[in-house]
Amino acid sequence: MQIIRDIATLHRAIDALKLGRKSVALVPTMGALHNGHLSLVRMARRVADHVVVSIFVNPTQFGPNEDFDAYPRDEGRDAALLVDAGTALLWAPAVDVMYPDGHRTHIEVAELGAEYCGAARPGHFDGVATVVAKLFNQVRPDVAIFGEKDWQQLAIIRRMARDLDFAIDILGAPIARDSDGLALSSRNAYLTKDQRAAAAAFPAALQAAAQAIAAGEDVERSLARAEAAIVAGGFDSIDYVALADADSLERLTEFRAPARLLAAARIGKTRLIDNLAVS
């Protein structure tokens, strides 16, 4: 696996991978890889000839009081996992390679980024959309794979790719979970043993609400019951538990397909997100 850190070398390496009309799949990540990331790499291998993974902890998608400095980083471990998973190229630029002095351009996907995680993290999705657009132009993949774990992010990237005519297929990969149902996340590493045990209440409450809504129960009441169960399970606060149109992310007060239950909650200093299909 090649590890590349500058744009000129990346362009040459991507040109070489594409020789003979070979296809390239991109899996963007922030590193601290777990089996969720690796499931994206496996999907990438199935759909393209070569897999490129990026690791870039993107400062512009973190708020001033968020965990940019504390975010777990272990490139050596990540690289070994990516070699085993069959990655051809690791694109790992430094911050000043991604954002050289004078960088001024930003992408905003209007409305889709305003609610849910966007409300709790102002500017977050502009940072995400901008860096993903840059990664698309840097790597020029045929396909890019994102996890359904970050449902709002996936909806925003799909819309951006459509609006800006990126000729890239955007694929969503199912959420990888631990045996107790907690979605795998690099941020789970922040949890103490007790918090980790309590965190299983989060997906359990969402699962119960999704089933209740699908069975015809009142949406507001089901969401309120989920919030109460998450707090009773040991979480300190809820950012949101909402039912949304799966594509437009419009908030739904009555169930209609395709719908997605979206949620974020805080336990100690850690903010966890999750979502489920309601069908």
Helix 151-163 with 124-139: angle, nearest 10 deg = 60
Question: Is residue 152 within the footprint of ligand AMP (CB under 6 A)?
Answer: no
Question: Is residue 150 within the footprint of ligand AMP (CB under 6 A)?
Answer: yes
Question: Is residue 185 within the footprint of ligand AMP (CB under 6 A)?
Answer: yes
The site string for ligand AMP over 31-70 (x = CB under 6 A, - otherwise) reads -----xx-xx------------------------------
Is the CB of 140 or the CB of 149 nearer to ligand AMP?
A: 149
The answer to whether the CB of 84 falls within 8 A of the CB of 41 is no
Catalytic residues: 37
Please identify which residue in 88, 117, 173, 212 interacts with ligand AMP, judged by CB under 6 A. Answer: 173
- Distance (Å, whole) CA 261 – CA 267: 19
Please identify which residue in 30, 38, 144, 259 interacts with ligand AMP, judged by CB under 6 A. Answer: 30
Beta carbon of residue 216, minimum distance to ligand AMP (angstroms, whole number): 29
Beta carbon of residue 17, minimum distance to ligand AMP (angstroms, whole number): 21
Beta carbon of residue 21, minimum distance to ligand AMP (angstroms, whole number): 27
List of residues 6+ apart from 93 with CB closer than 8 A: 5, 6, 7, 54, 56
Q: Which of the ranges 44-52, 182-190, 192-200, 208-216 carries the binding residues for ligand AMP, by CB under 6 A?
A: 182-190
Secondary structure of residue 266 in the 3-state scheme = strand
Q: How far is CA 135 from CA 27, 31, 97, 176, 185, in A?
A: 10, 15, 12, 24, 22
Is the CB of 42 or the CB of 251 nearer to ligand AMP?
A: 42
Please identify which residue in 186, 195, 222, 275 interacts with ligand AMP, judged by CB under 6 A. Answer: 186
Question: Is residue 203 within the footprint of ligand AMP (CB under 6 A)?
Answer: no
**In the complex, residue closest to ligand AMP by CB:** 147
Is the CB of 138 or the CB of 185 nearer to ligand AMP?
A: 185
C-alpha closest to that of 148 among 127, 119, 177: 177
Q: How many residues bind ligand AMP (CB under 6 A)?
A: 17
Beta carbon of residue 39, minimum distance to ligand AMP (angstroms, whole number): 6
Is the CB of 29 or the CB of 270 nearer to ligand AMP?
A: 29
The pairing of beta strand 259-267 with beta strand 237-245: antiparallel
Q: Which of the ranges 112-120, 143-151, 212-220, 245-253 carries the binding residues for ligand AMP, by CB under 6 A?
A: 143-151
- Across 63-163, where does the E strand assignment appear? 89-91, 143-147
Which helix (H) or strand (E) is 120 found in, with range? Answer: helix 117-120
The answer to whether the CB of 19 falls within 8 A of the CB of 13 is no
The answer to whether the CB of 249 falls within 8 A of the CB of 114 is no
What is the CB-side half-sphere exposure of residue 95 using CA atoms within 13 A? 7
Question: Is residue 139 within the footprint of ligand AMP (CB under 6 A)?
Answer: no
Give the pair of three-digit tokens for residue 216: 């015809």
Binding site for ligand AMP (CB under 6 A): 29-30, 36-37, 39-40, 146-147, 149-150, 173, 175-176, 183-186
